[in-house]
Chains A and B, each alone.
Chain A
């Protein structure tokens, strides 16, 4: 007799636990309208909020006069763990002082190798580099992943600390 009671008890307990699981899913089914969590991605692009610290890709900050703060010290190049930054510098004669000054010719950034570790931005002494919030970075051609970060025609801002 005892075993029969145990048997029936087992069945009822089992059904009970199943029902408690069904209650949870059932609640979400019947409240689907307010509980749905997925977003419709390309449609919500306008309202998508990207945090300001989001690490999308490295950019060089330019102001409205098309001036940047990079003096070509190559700290970022040394800080980069996977060699995705190559700074090509040039020497020009400063017309005011008559001394030869180092400027950047091209700040090349190989995005295909970048792990977005933020070390270059941290290493930069003059805050010339930053991370932007771009997130759609897929391209069809590998060459398109190589960027020159200083914009054409840009020049170094005055009084950038070395």
Chain B
């Protein structure tokens, strides 16, 4: 691995520099503030970029040009939209439950921040390397639905309520598939730490090393996580043609923007998890064979951050492709898909993977 691309050198240098200036407690607090600021900026920037990307991708799928007026190729379009949403009046409907109504957007926004904390994007570019990272992420990511449910209920609008309920029913069932698909891979890695999972793929990604069960697990994860982020064919909670805007019908201005942004950041997170677990995170593309050493060396020259974000972009593109191709499912079909198809397949897959792990059949 090329050391020049390692971010831990940079972070260690900053730590040393700060330690020379102040005492350890102050250093910790300063570092936390820096990281917090970076995280907020990162989420905001990613939100803007992803919204623009979604609009552009959707446009190309639909034979359109997409935003192209604000700035070159419309790259400032989302910034302009964001400013517009920011300056809009915040409306609270009369019969809404004021406290919960205002709380809901923050709950959906907090979840992605928590989840982003343990994801390694590049060597050393990880806020906290928890030894139970995978467990933490699955625990945290299911919290977002609380915000949707609260928002749908507190709006005191029947459409919102139906949307919130649909979302709750969906996330409760799909959480199972997401976790089981991840667990299938954890059997192979034998660790819950995100960085160790990445390191275990230095000689090849799990999706290649893990044979067909890994591929099945990836497909199941992709479907289930699309459902969990309320996107694509599973956007029942919004269901524009049925429920106008679903759970955020009554939200406007920046509160709506929070819901909107959280959808995109959640998409980033589920793609990052998929990247880490199935595609080796920031690990370059390596083949686990003797004869491929030269090829592996060439791959090492591409920085880890490019690999990391490249794979994330690819999975996000896949999810956008789904969204702009497929019709929406009905609520009972969604639950059928989970309980009659994904869950049994997942359990069998789990068993197969255990066999593979026991026999050491993986590469």
Q: Which residues of A contact B60 (CB under 8 A)?
A: 28-29, 32, 36
Residue A37 at the chain B interface, CB threshold 8 Å: yes
Known contacts being A22-B325, A25-B321, is A40 close to B65, with CB within 8 Å? yes
Known contacts being A11-B341, A18-B326, A29-B57, is A35 close to B63, with CB within 8 Å? yes
> B341 near A28 (CB under 8 angstroms)?
no
Q: Which residues of A contact B65 (CB under 8 A)?
A: 36, 38, 40
Task: Kindly provide the distance from the CB of A160 to the nearest chain B CB, expressed in whole angstroms.
Answer: 50
A29-B325 Cα distance, complex, nearest whole Å: 11
Interface set, chain A 57-99, CB cutoff 8 A to B? none
A18-B223 Cα distance, complex, nearest whole Å: 12
A24-B321 Cα distance, complex, nearest whole Å: 11
Residue B94 at the chain A interface, CB threshold 8 Å: no
Instruction: From B62, B64, B325, B341, give the contact of A21 (CB < 8 A).
Output: B325
Known contacts being A18-B326, A21-B325, A22-B325, is A38 close to B57, with CB within 8 Å? no
A28-B63 Cα distance, complex, nearest whole Å: 7
Residue B309 at the chain A interface, CB threshold 8 Å: no
> A38 near B325 (CB under 8 angstroms)?
no
Q: Which residues of A contact B68 (CB under 8 A)?
A: 40
Q: Which residues of B contact A29 (CB under 8 A)?
A: 57, 60-61, 321
> A36 near B326 (CB under 8 angstroms)?
no
Instruction: From B64, B321, B341, give the contact of A26 (CB < 8 A).
Output: B321
Task: Kindly provide the distance from the CB of B254 to the nearest chain A CB, expressed in whole angstroms.
Answer: 31
A36-B58 Cα distance, complex, nearest whole Å: 12
Size of A's binding interface in residues, CB under 8 A:
15
Q: Which residues of B contact A35 (CB under 8 A)?
A: 63
A128-B288 Cα distance, complex, nearest whole Å: 85
Residue B256 at the chain A interface, CB threshold 8 Å: no
Q: Which residues of A contact B341 (CB under 8 A)?
A: 11
A35-B65 Cα distance, complex, nearest whole Å: 10
> B61 near A38 (CB under 8 angstroms)?
no
Residue B324 at the chain A interface, CB threshold 8 Å: yes
Q: Which residues of A contact B325 (CB under 8 A)?
A: 18, 21-22, 24-25
Task: Kindly provide the distance from the CB of A132 to the nearest chain B CB, expressed in whole angstroms.
Answer: 30
Contact with B along A1-38 (1 / 0, CB 8 A): 00000000001000000100110111011001001111
Q: Which residues of B contact A18 (CB under 8 A)?
A: 325-326
> B63 near A36 (CB under 8 angstroms)?
yes
Q: Which residues of A contact B324 (CB under 8 A)?
A: 25
> B61 near A28 (CB under 8 angstroms)?
yes
Task: Kindly provide the distance from the CB of B181 to the nearest chain A CB, expressed in whole angstroms.
Answer: 16
A38-B65 Cα distance, complex, nearest whole Å: 7
A22-B62 Cα distance, complex, nearest whole Å: 13
Task: Kindly provide the distance from the CB of A161 to the nearest chain B CB, expressed in whole angstroms.
Answer: 52
Task: Kindly provide the distance from the CB of B151 to the nearest chain A CB, expressed in whole angstroms.
Answer: 31
A92-B124 Cα distance, complex, nearest whole Å: 96
Q: Which residues of A contact B321 (CB under 8 A)?
A: 22, 25-26, 29
A22-B326 Cα distance, complex, nearest whole Å: 8
Task: Kindly provide the distance from the CB of A17 to the nearest chain B CB, expressed in whole angstroms.
Answer: 10
Of chain B, the residue at the smallest CB distance from A14 is B341
Q: Which residues of B contact A25 (CB under 8 A)?
A: 61, 321, 324-325
A22-B63 Cα distance, complex, nearest whole Å: 15
A36-B59 Cα distance, complex, nearest whole Å: 9
A29-B341 Cα distance, complex, nearest whole Å: 30
Of chain B, the residue at the smallest CB distance from A30 is B60
Q: Which residues of A contact B345 (CB under 8 A)?
A: 11
Q: Which residues of A contact B57 (CB under 8 A)?
A: 29
A32-B326 Cα distance, complex, nearest whole Å: 19
Q: Which residues of B contact A32 (CB under 8 A)?
A: 60, 63
A22-B318 Cα distance, complex, nearest whole Å: 10
Task: Kindly provide the distance from the CB of A11 to the nearest chain B CB, expressed in whole angstroms.
Answer: 7
> A21 near B326 (CB under 8 angstroms)?
yes
Q: Which residues of B contact A38 (CB under 8 A)?
A: 63-65
A11-B216 Cα distance, complex, nearest whole Å: 12
> B64 near A36 (CB under 8 angstroms)?
yes
A38-B63 Cα distance, complex, nearest whole Å: 7
Task: Kindly provide the distance from the CB of A158 to the nearest chain B CB, expressed in whole angstroms.
Answer: 53
Interface set, chain B 302-359, CB cutoff 8 A to A? 321-322, 324-326, 341, 345
Tell me the B residues contacting A by CB distance below 8 Å. Answer: 57, 60-65, 68, 321-322, 324-326, 341, 345
* Sample of 19 A–B contacts (CB below 8 Å): A11-B345, A18-B325, A21-B326, A22-B322, A22-B325, A28-B60, A28-B62, A32-B60, A32-B63, A36-B60, A36-B63, A36-B64, A36-B65, A37-B64, A38-B63, A38-B64, A38-B65, A40-B65, A40-B68
Top 6 A-B residue pairs of the complex, sorted by shortest distance between their CB atoms: A32-B60, A25-B325, A37-B63, A38-B64, A29-B60, A25-B61
Tell me the A residues contacting B by CB distance below 8 Å. Answer: 11, 18, 21-22, 24-26, 28-29, 32, 35-38, 40
